């Protein structure tokens, strides 16, 4: 069972890294698109899309924080497992 946990952990790490990168890319692309559209169509029309940009960057930083938290938790659990044995 422990070997399958390592495989799941590795797969989850890959998923988290990909999702972290996706949120960063979404935030960057949205920021550029909204800023360009502000200059083309007017700031008053497109300013309301900036909170979505903030949401995307917020999701990126939340993902980074959760990944660090998960690593600490896995380290703690493996330490507890070694103490138990």
- Report pLDDT digits (tens) over 12-64: 888 889 999 999 999 999 999 999 999 999 999 999 999 999 999 999 999 99
pLDDT value for 60: 96
d(CA 72, CA 69): 5
DSSP state of 42: -
By CB atoms closer than 10 A (0-12, 13-18, 19+), residue 51 is exposed
Non-local CB neighbours of 34 within 8 Å, separated by 6+ positions: 46, 49, 50, 52, 53
d(CA 44, CA 29): 20
């Amino acid at each position: 069972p422990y070997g399958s946990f390592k495989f799941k952990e590795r797969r989850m790490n890959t998923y988290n890294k990909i999702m972290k990168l996706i949120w960063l890319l979404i935030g960057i692309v949205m920021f550029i698109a909204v800023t360009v559209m502000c200059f083309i169509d007017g700031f008053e029309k497109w300013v309301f899309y900036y909170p979505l940009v903030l949401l995307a960057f917020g999701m990126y930083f939340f993902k980074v924080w959760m990944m660090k938290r998960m690593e600490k938790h896995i380290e703690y659990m493996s330490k507890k497992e070694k103490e138990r044995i």
